[in-house]
Amino acid sequence: EDQVTQSPEALRLQEGESSSLNCSYTVSGLRGLFWYRQDPGKGPEFLFTLYSAGEEKEKERLKATLTKKESFLHITAPKPEDSATYLCAVQPDDNDMRFGAGTRLTVKP
Amino acid sequence: DGGITQSPKYLFRKEGQNVTLSCEQNLNHDAMYWYRQDPGQGLRLIYYSQIVNDFQKGDIAEGYSVSREKKESFPLTVTSAQKNPTAFYLCASSINLDRVGVAFFGQGTRLTVV
């Protein structure tokens, strides 16, 4: 069964304190892994797509990496405006997208 | 500006009522989707459509119905058969008919049973 597990559920950081969010997945075949940012009461905003192990993508303070079993979203020197819930999703070969429950990030000034 | 518009933002339903959530996109995307989001859970797929006049059930289609009469529109009806409809509903669209990735989401409709 295709599964996506995100950890931690919640993460509190001080401004400037770098950290990583984890997305572990189990799929029969991976067509793509996606990261989204979701602000409270809003729809998810697309951040990255990763297709194969070893691939990396960067956007401002965010960097996403992918291995055969998990993906990391690294946040370097976060700012309060980075506070949001970060969602991970996988696209299996023969099924619809599967979403993790998300990591709720809070960055304190 | 191109995007996906969901309305209303908040919706209240009485027991036994059917309600319809609107989703319109001007991105010229072929594929459209409806997801349900509950606290502490990942998004779950209700229905999707890859082409006008055709749609497929997702994981949790029971108690819901959809139509796709126009490329731009994909309304979702929450019927009285849906026993636990209180949730945040998200509409999305994708340009890719292979359904690889859902790139654009609407701002959501929060449905509450009163």
Mean pLDDT, rounded, of chain B: 92
- Reported as a single tens digit per residue, the pLDDT across B58-68 is 999 999 999 99
Q: Which helix (H) or strand (E) segment is B48 a member of?
A: strand B44-51
> Residue A60: what residue type?
E
Q: Is A45 close to B40, i.e. CB distance below 8 A?
A: no
Q: Count the alpha carbons within 13 Å of B98 in the hemisphere toward its beta carbon.
A: 8
For residue B95, the distance in angstroms to the closest alpha carbon of chain A comes to 14
Residue B102 has pLDDT above 90, yes or no: no
Residue pair B32/B74 in contact by the 8 Å Cβ criterion = yes
Q: Is A97 close to B48, i.e. CB distance below 8 A?
A: no
> Looking at residues B9-38, what average pLDDT do you find?
94
Q: What is the C-alpha separation between B43 and B31, in angstroms, rounded?
A: 17
Q: Count the alpha carbons within 13 Å of B70 in the hemisphere toward its beta carbon.
A: 9
Tokens of B90: 């998200």
Edge-to-edge, what's the strand order for the sheet holding B19-25?
B4-7, B19-25, B76-78, B64-66
Residue pair A91/B48 in contact by the 8 Å Cβ criterion = no
Q: HEC profile for A55-99? A: CEEEECCEEEEECCCEEEEEECCCCHHHCEEEEEEEEECCCCCEE
Peptide bond into A8 cis (omega under 30): yes
Nearest by CB to B42, from A31, A46, A98: name it.
A98
- Reported as a single tens digit per residue, the pLDDT across A62-76 is 999 999 999 999 999
Q: Is A97 close to B59, i.e. CB distance below 8 A?
A: no
**Pairs of residues, one from chain A and one from chain B, whose beta carbons lie less than 8 Å apart:** 55
Residue B11 has pLDDT above 90, yes or no: yes
For residue A3, the distance in angstroms to the closest alpha carbon of chain B comes to 10
Burial class from Cβ neighbours inside 10 Å (0-12, 13-18, 19+) for residue A108 reads exposed
> Looking at residues A79-90, what average pLDDT do you find?
97
| Cα maximum dimension of chain A | 44
Banded pLDDT at B2 (limits 50, 70, 90): confident
> Looking at residues B46-52, what average pLDDT do you find?
93
> Looking at residues B74-83, what average pLDDT do you find?
94
Above pLDDT 90, what percent of chain B? 75
Residue pair B71/B3 in contact by the 8 Å Cβ criterion = no
- Reported as a single tens digit per residue, the pLDDT across A14-51 is 999 999 999 999 988 898 999 999 999 999 999 999 99
- Of A5-9, B28-32, B82-86, B93-97, the range with the lowest mean pLDDT is B93-97
